[in-house]
Structure 1
């Protein structure tokens, strides 16, 4: 389906006319927001909220980032902020971007602009006073929405209709928009995972994504990782990933993926299957579910996506073959694993093991479900414990300094853990004396 012309949602509506009204928004009425609006409109310029904050407010989703647009050039924006006693940061003057900081709140303010040249990632722009031309630069119709301070919504490309239909469409021709920036290919699927419905993606967009999938290879790992991990945070990323896999989009960036069904089970457990407040959708845990118990794949993906050292190590731990967790595992044995690996890692491993367990069974035993939940509860309740004797205690018993001290401590810790960490200091010293 070809995208409509601007304003195609009504015969008597011009592209620049308002089409609706936002309900009251706490973020819009907050003191920092009012201060920024007052500063920017001091000279009579029109200012609007743009992009994600309007889209999410329409969908009644939490608004995290507040972006604004104005026809005034960035230098004038900085002047108006300074005149109002507000801090302005010239984060991208060449592209018309200024960041206002008020208390702990940050607002990205961009001068209206239109593209005159693109090279696949960067665009050469000129400033304009045309709101529709600025909206035409947006990637998708649902991101081309804007709203004035009174809450009037402007929708030149029928993004509201697309939101209502659970449809993600490019503004303009999909192929041309992807040629402008190949990352939009991944953004299309990320936004479909969050705002689309099932696997019914826009046909023209999918065809363009399939055609330009090889253009993902030269992109930096950081840019790919940012889009992929945000996609994996959606309630049901598995359905979108199946579409990507079927259309050859995953192969250039994640050829190691082979277990989307386990991801589907894990997502269900995180979002709907458990009444556990500490368990939330976790993109790195979900990435581990896709890779399966494959340390080599985890290492390759971490390197390609240029993950941080902490994320690389965590992904490697989640992809390790050991420990193997089963619902039949006793509480004592699980606490030994908690002592060895830590509560956070064991909770992740338990969720991954449970997802694999569900995925491999046609019928689910309620007793197994209760057993998995009991293991998760043990992880939540776990408080780290330490062996109540140290190397100095063994030396005081007469042991000669050297490697034997470490060996005996390890033996004692195993003996202590097998008894569910119950022996106290006196009992541990007595056991040490007996072993000496």
Structure 2
């Protein structure tokens, strides 16, 4: 917030005396000494005037949410989300109809939590209308005003409450907020899968994810969003392993909560509207094409590494160890091999067999698979020349068999 790009944007907004402040998460994170991922700015100026001023000063503007008063400024490789002060006219639990205002307190009052309503002037003056600093120091996530009213405005705030508790909370959460989340949890199915996905994956990236997921189960939040994701015991075991051997892929945390098999994983992926890449990865963790566990032989382990790739193999190994209660020390050899494993592509293609005289059709696939098995059995060491030599030998045997008189 103190860089030249931020100063340039602020000067453009404030050059005729209007006020602009940094607001929300970037102010909260700055107080905690955390580098903010996004920088938000609020101003009484309407979006059209914001856009005019920025463009006049050579700053690129994108109308990212113009109907809600938001534009994004791009300059010097940085982006700034600039929103006109607002009041809610109408809410339905998913989205709000807003009108613009010049009242900073009115705008702050429509936000979710006390520490997200803080704002900061370019000169460093902090505005904290709801004692957000006190709540941050206490490790307390507190809704502004009545928790039930804030949740009714946007049901996603239930998930955001648990995410912020996982990130900033200390001890038990605010009882009133927890009760409101439990009471209004049946409204969660009205949310889009994309919004649920974003919050869930952020929760599952926090150090306190296990504790918070248990709270979410107890409050009925999980039952209303991801009803299959209840194996918190396995998630806790995976978490303990990660502290010792390093983190798994984020999808592994979700997979740990789910039962084995395709059905629950596919339903969860659909509920969360996962991308095809993440969906496929989740399915591969819940229904792997190759069995992976800590007791694999060296040969079987290398076959799994070659078939799955080192990242998928590593995640499946950690999930299996979490299920079995295998100590981390017993995984070190396999994890070390996975860390240095490079998948070696099979040297031959179907066209190589065609060029050697194998007739087009199913026989090409059958022979290619057989040759790949021969190559794998030799620890993936044979070169392309070795494989072609073996193919030639097999073709010679095939021709000799075809030339032999049929036995009666």
Q: Give TM-score scaled by structure 1 length.
A: 0.85
Report the Cα distance in structure 2 between the residues aligned to 1:349 and 1:414, rounded to whole angstroms: 23
User: In structure 2, what is the Cα distance between the partners aligned to 1:31 and 1:206?
Assistant: 42
Count of aligned residue pairs for this structure pair: 395
Partner of 2:382: 423
| TM-aligned CA deviation for residue 170 of structure 1 | 0.4
2:2 to 4, 18, 29: 29
> CA–CA distance in 1 between the matches of 2:375 and 2:120?
64
In structure 2, distance between residues paired with 1:108 and 1:397:
62
Correspondence for 1:156: 129
Distance 1:108-1:426 versus aligned 2 partners, 3 A rule: closer
Give the distance between the partners of 2:311 and 2:152, measured in 1 at CA.
42
1:266 CA displacement: 2.2
The offset of 1:393, in angstroms, is: 4.4
Contact in 2 for aligned 1:291/1:298 (Cα 8 Å)? yes
Aligned to 2:140: 167
Cα deviation, residue 202, structure 1: 0.8
1:405 pairs with one of 347, 359, 364: 364
Q: How does 1:69-88 map to 2 (within 5 A)?
A: 69-88=42-61
Return the offset for 1:169: 0.8
C-alpha distance in 2, partners of 1:102/1:380? 40
Indicate the larger mover: 328-337 or 210-219. 328-337
- Give the drift of 1:430: 4.3
Match of 2:174 in 1: 202
Q: Of 145, 148, 155, which aligns to 2:118?
A: 145
SS at match of 1:233: coil
Deviations 1:352-393 (A, max 9, x none): 2232233xx6xx4xxxx3442332232222222133344454
- Deviation digits for residues 110-133 of structure 1, max 9, x if unmatched? 122222332222323332222222
> 5+ unaligned residues in a row in structure 1: which ranges?
1-27
Higher relative contact order (CA 8 A, sep 6+): 1
Of 264, 270, 273, which residue of structure 1 is paired with 2:244? Answer: 273
Partner residue in 2 for 1:10: none
Q: Is the 8 A contact 2:294 2:320 kept in 1?
A: no
Change (3 A) 1:60 1:180: same
Query: What is the correspondence of 1:167-246 to structure 2 with a 5 Å cutoff?
Result: 167-198=140-171, 200-246=172-218
The structure with the greater share of residues assigned to helix is: 2
